[in-house]
């Protein structure tokens, strides 16, 4: 690739993507539970033999696991200098990259639902960040949250602790996968929960009672996250706020519709729009348009 091109990197829980004008790569190696983002990036770059194939001056890193607080970027610059010969690096909270990419830099609110949850709003140069707190204490309504609750109910159904036998029948493969785990509260269990998210949404569409309850609660919690984010930038209740909902679980139309219904209870003029781009688009836009830090979401380092 041309050294003048920006290399955008999106480090997620379920994989990592790299993109420039002449490059488009994806690997399933993402950030593992409890792993430092810097260590995860180094492992990704090594797995791709990046130092042998990619050279660029500028790298924009969208990273999961920053919890809305971009760290000191100097170590990230050293890492990217080692692998790519980079002279400047932007370290970006993935929620902020998602917000910028989905709204192409304009005002509004972007809710990103993957394994976790993050919501970012922007209004007149002011930004707010909600959730992104991690699976133990936050990420309510996200993929891990959905899958964990569904598997819990399926196991309870199997043990006759709840009167919903459809759950153990519908999730029998997930129950078997749970019992096959060597460690039932570690990274493999988290991955199993995230992979189960889509099936929970399917079960709710089939009106399986426990799944309906889980999905309805998830939609309500996500709506409160969106509302709080907009309020965090001093947005008004009657504003015509643009809202993007994106990420894996958002592919289920019924889930997005339920989220929006709950949002409209407090923001009646909210308008759902299609996303203009993803985290990689956001990282590239930031590299080209935001040359200064936007604390705490974006920090630059240069040689």
- What does the pLDDT average to over 130-138? 90
Assign 148 to helix, strand or coil. Answer: helix
Block residue for tokens 């889509």:
198
Residue 62 in 3-state DSSP? strand
**What pLDDT does residue 1 have?**
66
Reported as a pLDDT band with limits 50, 70 and 90, residue 242 is: very high
pLDDT of residue 92: 97
Read off the pLDDT of residues 166-200 as tens digits, 9 standing for 90 and up.
999 999 999 999 999 999 988 889 999 999 999 99
The two tokens of residue 163 are: 């009167």
Region class of 164: left (phi > 0), else alpha (psi between -120 and 50), else beta: beta
Closest CA to 3 of 41, 48, 38, 55: 55
Max CA distance (Å), the chain:
63
Q: At residue 59, does pLDDT exceed 70?
A: yes
Q: Quick one: which H or E segment has residue 6?
A: strand 6-11
Q: Of 9, 30, 226, 31, give the one whose Cα is nearest residue 97.
A: 9
Domains of the chain (ranges; CATH) run: 6-98+278-302 (3.30.420.40), 105-275 (3.30.420.40)
pTM: 0.84
Alpha carbon distance 152, 122 (integer Å): 37
Q: Where are the alpha helices (DSSP H) in 181-278?
A: 187-205, 209-232, 253-264
Using the predicted structure, report yes or no on whether residue 4 has a pLDDT greater than 80: no
* Statement: residue 41 has pLDDT above 90: yes
Residues 197/144, Cβ–Cβ less than 8 Å: yes
């Amino acid at each position: 690739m041309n050294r003048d091109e920006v290399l955008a990197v999106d480090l997620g829980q379920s994989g990592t993507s790299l993109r420039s004008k002449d490059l488009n790569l994806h690997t399933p190696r993402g950030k593992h539970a409890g792993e430092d983002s810097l260590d995860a990036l180094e492992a990704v770059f090594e797995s791709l033999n990046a130092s042998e194939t990619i050279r660029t001056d500028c790298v924009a890193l969208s990273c999961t696991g920053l919890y809305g607080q971009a760290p000191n970027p100097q170590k990230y610059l050293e890492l990217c200098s080692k692998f790519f010969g980079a002279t400047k690096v932007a370290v970006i909270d993935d929620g902020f990259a998602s917000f910028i990419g989905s709204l192409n830099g304009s005002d509004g609110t972007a809710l990103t639902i993957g394994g976790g949850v993050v919501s970012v709003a922007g209004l007149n140069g002011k930004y707010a960040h909600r959730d992104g707190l991690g699976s133990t204490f936050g990420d309510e309504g996200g993929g891990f949250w959905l899958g964990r609750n569904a598997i819990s109910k399926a196991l309870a159904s199997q043990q006759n602790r709840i009167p919903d036998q459809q759950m153990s029948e519908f999730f029998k493969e997930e129950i078997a996968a749970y019992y096959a785990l060597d460690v039932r509260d570690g990274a493999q269990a988290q991955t199993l929960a995230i992979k189960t998210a889509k099936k929970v949404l399917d079960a709710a569409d089939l009106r399986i009672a426990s799944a309906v309850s889980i999905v309805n609660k998830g939609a309500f919690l996500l709506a409160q996250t969106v509302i709080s984010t907009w309020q965090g930038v001093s947005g008004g209740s009657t504003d015509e706020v643009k809202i993007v909902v994106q990420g894996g679980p958002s592919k289920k139309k019924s889930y997005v519709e339920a989220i929006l219904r709950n949002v409209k209870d407090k923001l009646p003029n909210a308008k759902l729009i299609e996303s203009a781009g993803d985290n990689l688009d956001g990282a590239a836009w930031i590299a080209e348009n935001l040359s200064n830090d936007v604390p705490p979401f974006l920090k630059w380092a240069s040689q």
